[in-house]
Amino acid sequence: MIKIKNVSRYYYQGKKKEIVIKALENINLEIHKGEFTALVGPSGSGKTTLLNLIGALDLPTQGSIWIDDKDITKLKESERAKFRLYSIGFVFQSYNLISTLTALENIEYVLMLRKIPASIRKEKALSILKEIGLEGLANRFPIDMSGGQQQRVAVGRALVGEPKIILADEPTANLDGKTASQLLDLMEDMCNKKQITFLFSTHDPRVMQRAKRIITLEDGKIKNDQNQGFD
């Protein structure tokens, strides 16, 4: 489903851009439909950079990224934005909920951008709220929810559009053990039921224990790729 071919991402600093920072270097990787995969490694190893490239938030310095036989690095910016809207769900460590919107409205937001009629948006969002165990909190604002509840809303927002891929950047970092376990149960269930491909960037051993595959990055390169049970 995801094919990464000879991908590097360099950043240039200095007055003459003479300093080269190699965030990623010559990455070759395939990720299959329905995988529950963790990217691990020390800070600065390239995990978030790789997620941003797969999510079409950034472009590689060289190489290509294919998703469903489409080279997303060749898309125009408007085409990449459309690709993100319809194919990718994002879950962030800091939740990134819109503070002035309720839980229901935050989940609906992706569907609103897709210009889905209001009645259908609401129906889908209410269904997702039930799936993530927040059925009674539809009208609650982020400030009135716990961190675990906010992260569930963020997962609901990522799921509601039924994307092919969900990219999660340190989604359990701010959560206690019980809440993190519940959130991972939810995402694992969605992966199994809907065959959504989940790709995590994480330092969290709790995520690594659940992942079917662990890809270790170090200094912008893949150091290890271990399958833990994905068929």
Tell whether 172 is covered by a domain. Answer: yes
Tell whether 147 is covered by a domain. Answer: yes
Tell whether 11 is covered by a domain. Answer: no
Tell whether 20 is covered by a domain. Answer: no
Tell whether 1 is covered by a domain. Answer: no
Listing DSSP states for 150-211 in one string gives HHHHHHHHHHHT--SEEEEESTTTTS-HHHHHHHHHHHHHHHHHH--EEEEE---HHHHHH-
Between β-strands 213-218 and 197-201, what pairing exists: parallel, antiparallel or unpaired? Answer: unpaired
Model's pTM, two decimal places?
0.91
- State the residue range of the domain holding 113: 32-60+77-227
Query: What total number of domains does the chain contain?
Result: 1
Strand, coil or helix: 125: helix
Whole-number pLDDT of residue 163: 92
Tell whether 132 is covered by a domain. Answer: yes
Whole-number pLDDT of residue 36: 94
* Residue ranges of the chain with per-residue pLDDT less than 50: 230-231
Q: What tokens were used for 97?
A: 């909920």
Tell whether 6 is covered by a domain. Answer: no
Tell whether 48 is covered by a domain. Answer: yes
Residue 143: Cβ within 10 Å count: 9
Whole-number pLDDT of residue 229: 62
The domain that holds 157 is classified in CATH as: 3.40.50.300
Give per-residue pLDDT as tens, 61-103: 999 999 998 999 999 999 999 999 999 999 988 889 999 999 9
